[in-house]
Amino acid sequence: LNENSFITRLRYFQITAFSIFFITSFLNFIANLLNSYLITAVACIILVLVRYLLDNNHIKAAYYSLLFCINLALVFLTGVEGINSGVFLFFFPAIISFAFLVDLSEKRNVFLTYAICLCSFIIAVVFIPVYSNAQEVIGKAHRTNFFINILSSFSLIGWMSFSLAKENKKKQNV
């Protein structure tokens, strides 16, 4: 990736992540899921900081802030809402997105990115359910949240696929 392409992809991912967290934050507020609302609201604030870093040409700081923000928010949301909420499904589009963001020529960044993503996923899916009672999700609001999480994660994968296909078509035409 050249630097302009990397920055463009990083901006698209930041905007998409912010949109998803903002919508989720709003839905968590409506469903009266206070802890989930606080996590998603803090993630939105951090994503605004990522945009500030991007606009001020602090690209590496923006990338790592985005990486940690997404992964920590998903781990905390899984811990608060439980494995039955379906929040862990957001790890798949996140891992795929970071696979297209990371500069493959820098082996250390590739290793660090995948290590953070996979460790976060393992913590959320394996360790949190074992050491927490959060997996016992009950109530209509949580069932609604599960279906919202499934639809949102699949919509996000669809959006990412469309964006990547569009960018690849531009490259082929050049």
Residues 16-38: pLDDT tens digits?
888 888 887 887 777 777 888 88
pLDDT of residue 46: 95
Of 11, 7, 40, the residue nearest 25 (C-alpha): 40
Q: What is the pLDDT of residue 133?
A: 54
The pLDDT value given to residue 168: 63
C-alpha span between 42 and 115 (Å, rounded): 23
Residue 125 DSSP symbol:
I
Give the helix ranges, DSSP H, for the chain.
3-30, 34-55, 59-81, 91-101, 107-122, 128-131, 140-173
The residue among 96, 48, 95 whose CA lies nearest residue 74 is 95
Q: Are 73 and 40 in contact (CB under 8 A)?
A: yes
What pLDDT was estimated at residue 137?
45
pLDDT tens series, the chain, 174 aa: 467 777 888 888 888 888 888 887 887 777 777 888 888 889 999 999 999 999 999 988 999 999 999 999 989 888 887 777 777 778 888 887 787 777 777 888 889 988 998 899 888 888 776 555 544 544 555 666 677 777 777 777 777 667 766 766 776 676
- The candidate with the shortest Cα–Cα distance to 118, out of 129, 110, 130, is 110
Write out the two tokens for 170. 């531009």
Rounded Cα distance between 59 and 5, Å, is 12
Sign of the four-CA dihedral 151, 156, 162, 164: negative
Cα separation values, 155 from 96, 112, 149, 150, 152, Å: 14, 27, 10, 8, 5
Residue 61's pLDDT is: 93
Q: How far apart are CA 104 and CA 146, in angstroms?
A: 35
pLDDT at 144: 66
How many other C-beta atoms can be found within 10 angstroms of the C-beta atom of residue 46? 19
